[in-house]
Amino acid sequence: MENIKSFELDHDIMIPGFYLIGEANKVYTYDLRFKVPNGGDYLNNAAIHSIEHLFATVVRNSDIKNNVVYFGPMGCRTGFYLLLLGIELKEAKEITINCMKDCLNLDFVPGTEKIQCGNYLEHNLEDAQNEIRKYLKILVN
């Protein structure tokens, strides 16, 4: 089998940040890397799950809601993938920063009723927002 594109990135030299890692048919795939790969410090399950709910809700209510193809966590718990139609790197990063800031203004995690989520008890707003704050420091430097 052929390696998929994200496996071709050198994870040994990757640092947290915001990366364009692919484009196909004007769908841009962004790597929102919160943690150093294999660094021993990973997003906990409740935090990564809540960030997924928070950011997905905010970005799908933003000015680019019709351009959002996908947002979801990496299984390695070091970050997220964001797929946007027709939004190039500079704008995508700005939008991500603004949406992450908006996530800090929410005082609840959206979509956490049992009927809305596959593991509704595994959420942690405080941990999620702490991780978002750390990520924003990386992005705005």
Question: Which single residue is written with the structure tokens 């990973």?
Answer: 42
How would you class 24 by CB atoms within 10 Å of its CB: exposed for 0-12, middle for 13-18, buried for 19 or more? exposed
Dist. CA 141–CA 139, nearest whole Å: 6
Nearest position to Zn ion, beta carbon = 117
Question: Smallest distance from the beta carbon of 56 to Zn ion, in angstroms?
Answer: 9
Q: Which is nearer to Zn ion, 38 or 119 (CB)?
A: 119
Shortest distance (Å) from residue 33 CB to Zn ion: 22
CA dist., res. 17 & res. 78, Å (int): 11
| Token digits of residue 60 | 């799908």
Confirm if 39 and 120 have CB atoms less than 8 A apart.
Answer: no
The residue (of 54 and 87) whose beta carbon lies closer to Zn ion is 54
- Using CB under 5 A as the binding rule, the residues of this chain from 91 to 110 that contact Zn ion are none
Residue 36 contacts Zn ion per CB under 5 A: no
| Of the residues 64, 117, 136, 139, which one makes contact with Zn ion according to CB under 5 A | 117
Region from 37-45, 102-110, 115-123, 127-135 binding Zn ion, contact rule CB under 5 A = 115-123
Rounded CA-CA distance 55/39 in Å is: 24
Binding footprint of Zn ion on the chain (CB under 5 A): 117
